[in-house]
Structure 1
């Protein structure tokens, strides 16, 4: 009798599981049908960067979405996609429809969009794709094309070979290649101070004291990883790698390119950079030195000592384990996008991956998430490389002022988004001016 009761109980449990499964499948089907009826598969790019007519059918792992930049389709669009680098404070699709999802793609520092780092602004987006590991589609390693690039020996030159090149071609051990000479990080100020203590070969438009070969002058900015450029840079022992802005996980080609070429980066930028280095001793970090003079002394020592120099190049010299950092290796193997050395293909791939990410989220999300400050984490006020006598960079006060205005912009946008009504550029500027003059944003 007890055995029969146990069987009845087992049958009852199986039936309950079956019924729950059927109910769940039905709910998903109904949800999906509702979403389709509501036009959820229409994605609209709300950006002026696309000056051409854009209308694509995107197939994304079982989902199909139509992606367009035709603003006439705003009513039927389920998701609105924004490209952060060219956001305009007066150009948002308001009033916002109740079920519309907003997605933000922003891979750059806040120098062009000073209101981006503030919670008041970010909280109005449901999904983000930024350099931050905390965003929904992180782009932390986007500037490192392939994991194998760190260990490749295509451009690598030995310590002895670099000594010979340095002597024969009369070049420095340190190279600097930048065109932007007004950065939030005070890059140009620090390099200028470093030049007082050690020779630096500076190419590009910033602090230039030597010219690139004619073949590289034409378009090196659009060919950041060209074989010719990497081969040219590989002659040097050190490369100054200072980001234009300081944000958590904001790591650009400034860091990855010298590692690829077999040069030791002299790095300043992301406070979390050590989470991503291929080995524990992969770069020389400016933060480790009290001033440029002490850094220069360290560069002279390492540049003259083969053992010390090679200790920074385990990603080239340790052929069994070019990447010893499991976090970096896992990120490179599992990231949901693939970059290429050709910038145009890379950019298209990034946009398409974001479209597919938003397509899937749009199709299945019942309760959208809300972005927060961790999705775009930048120290405020802006941090900069340490200068002697605790000086601040030449344009430090300008950047600080710009970010303060950005705080006002974020707070005003928050107010307007909550009011959920359209507004004009002149209205926005008038109200912003009042907030700044009355010091209402601190």
Structure 2
């Protein structure tokens, strides 16, 4: 008599198929868990950013491994160790040190395909030597909104809790300036304003320098602050607007890019733009004749926003890691000068 049961070979094949199906199900479940919100995230590799020469410093600051974590950027390592050139994910060069020849590009040792970042927060008027950097850099870090790594001097962020009271005012207008040159438009405008408006000038130019901790409390006593940029360029809005005026609690009177550009960064009623007036005399009359209720409207933004400054180069360099997955691979700035001067 023959055994009517299933022979061993098909039974083994069936068990094997079940085992494979179970394994595939387990792998599928694991993938779902890792990709689902709140699931176990896949481990991310650390991105190493080599800063070739620390901006404006002979000695870099200490860069512990949690430097970028403190700015809300994970898996990011900043280093100034040039021996890591071959393995760094990107290398940053600050333009001032290239311009003054304090730093030189290691072109001969550059690893194939390694992205290089050109970094500068200066205006085109104070930037020289870009012509010799053709075809070198892949990404740009600057205050320009069309930069690969856009880092403004400041921004408005939602406020939590009530705004602090405005400081008491005892002066009309203040200006802090060190680089005072008659050919600058800001100096020419000041010369035209001064006969019609009381402007107190501080800084090296007036031989009344302010200590670092004295600037904000000094400016806070004034109704207006002359947020005059040293040169007028696309998106060039510096700490003269963010810190010296808005953070101090004075209304900024701005000379820089167009009103439309300022309105991309701040509400239209947060500042006075010099271009809105036909003459310096007209501007002075507007400022001197402003009543209290009109003046207070310039601070309506403080109920909703607070000023956040971005003055630390560590935070600026950590932003490279935050943008890293989205940065264009294979891009090269063949005419960096043409781009920056535009």
TM-score, normalization: structure 2?
Answer: 0.67
C-alpha deviation, 1:262, in angstroms: 3.1
The SS at the match of 1:80 is strand
Relative to total residues, which structure has the larger strand share, 1 or 2? 2
What's the offset of the Cα at 1:52?
Answer: 4.0
CA distances 1:39-59 after superposition (whole Å, capped 9, x unpaired): x96543222646447776577
For residues 127-206 of structure 1, what are the structure 2 equivalents within 5 Å? Answer: 127-140=139-152, 142-144=153-155, 147-148=158-159, 152-157=163-168, 162=169, 165=170, 171=171, 173-182=172-181, 185-206=184-205
- How far off is 1:269 after superposition? 0.9
| Contact kept? 1:184, 1:244, Cα under 8 Å | no
User: The residue matched to 2:118 in structure 1 has which SS?
Assistant: strand
Q: Within 5 Å, give how 1:31-180 maps onto structure 2.
A: 43-47=49-53, 49=55, 51-52=58-59, 57=65, 63=75, 65=77, 67-88=78-99, 91-95=104-108, 96-116=110-130, 121=133, 124-140=136-152, 142-144=153-155, 147-148=158-159, 152-157=163-168, 162=169, 165=170, 171=171, 173-180=172-179
Q: Which has the higher helix share?
A: 1
CA distance in 2, matches of 1:238, 1:274: 19
Q: Secondary structure at the match of 1:81?
A: strand
Give the Cα separation in 1 of the matches to 2:144 and 2:162.
Answer: 25
Which residue in 2 is equivalent to 1:424? none
1:87 is paired with a residue whose SS is helix
Per-residue CA deviation, residues 397-438 of structure 1 (Å, 9 max, x unaligned), is: xxxxxxxxxxxxxxxxxxxxxxxxxxxxxxxxxxxxxxxxxx
For 1:48 and 1:310, the matched residues in 2 are separated by: 42
2:269 alignment partner, one of 272, 281, 287: 281
1:9 aligned partner: none
Cα distance in 2 for partners of 1:110, 1:286 equals 22
Preserved contact between residue 176 and residue 202 of structure 2 (Cα < 8 Å): yes
- CA distance in 1: counterparts of 2:93 and 2:165, whole angstroms: 39
In 2, the alpha carbon distance for the partners of 1:79 and 1:357 equals 13
Q: Which of 261, 282, 285 is the equivalent residue of 1:294?
A: 282
* Distance (Å, rounded) in 2 between the aligned partners of 1:205 and 1:191: 16
- Structure 1 spans left out of the alignment, 5+ residues: 1-17, 26-35, 166-170, 324-328, 333-337, 381-442
Could you say what secondary structure the match of 1:266 adopts?
Answer: strand
Assess, with a 3 A threshold, how the Cα gap between structure 1 residues 176 and 48 changes in structure 2: closer, same or farther.
closer
What is the CA distance between 1:179 and its match in structure 2?
Answer: 1.7
Offset at residue 183 of structure 1 (A): 8.7
Give the C-alpha shift of residue 264 in structure 1.
1.7
Given the superposition, is the C-alpha separation of residues 97 and 205 from structure 1 closer, same or farther in structure 2, using an over 3 Å criterion?
A: same
Once the two structures are TM-superposed, the CA of residue 201 in structure 1 deviates from its matched residue by: 1.0
CA-based RMSD: 4.2
Instruction: State the alpha-carbon separation in 1 of the partners of residues 141 and 187 from structure 2.
Output: 29
Equivalents in 1 of 2:297, 2:245: separation in Å? 15
**Are 2:124 and 2:341, in contact at CA under 8 Å, matched by a contact in 1?**
no
Which residue is 2:321 aligned to? Answer: 356
Partner in structure 1 of residue 39 of structure 2: none
Q: Does 1:249 align with 2:215?
A: no
Q: Deviations over 1:158-181 (max 9, x none)?
A: xxxx4xx3xxxxx4x111112221
Q: Residue 251 of structure 2 corresponds to which residue in structure 1?
A: 264
Change (3 A) 1:297 1:135: same
Higher-Rg member (1/2): 2
Offset from partner CA, 1:270-295 (integer Å, 9 cap, x none): 331122223x2221111122332222
- Using CA pairs under 8 Å that are at least 6 residues apart, name the structure with larger relative contact order, 1 or 2: 1
**Deviation, structure 1 residue 266:** 1.0
Find the partner of 1:347 among 294, 307, 313: 313
Secondary structure of residue in 2 paired with 1:206: helix
Q: Aligned residue for 1:420?
A: none
Say whether the 8 Å CA contact 1:135–1:374 is kept in structure 2: no
- How many angstroms does 1:135 deviate by? 1.5
Tell me how far 1:236 sits from its aligned partner: 1.5
What SS class does the counterpart of residue 297 from structure 1 fall into? helix
The verdict on how the C-alpha distance between 1:76 and 1:249 changes in structure 2, with shifts beyond 3 A counting, is: same
Give, in angstroms, the shift of residue 184 of structure 1.
8.0
Contact 2:274–2:283 (CA<8 Å) still a contact in 1?
yes
Deviations 1:166-214 (A, max 9, x none): xxxxx4x111112221498532232122112222111122246xx57xx
Counterpart in the other structure of 2:220: 234
Unpaired runs of 5+ residues, structure 2, are 1-27, 36-44
- Inter-CA distance 77–260: structure 2 relative to 1 (3 Å threshold): closer
The structure 1 segments of at least 4 consecutive aligned residues displaced by more than 6 Å after TM superposition are 58-62, 372-377
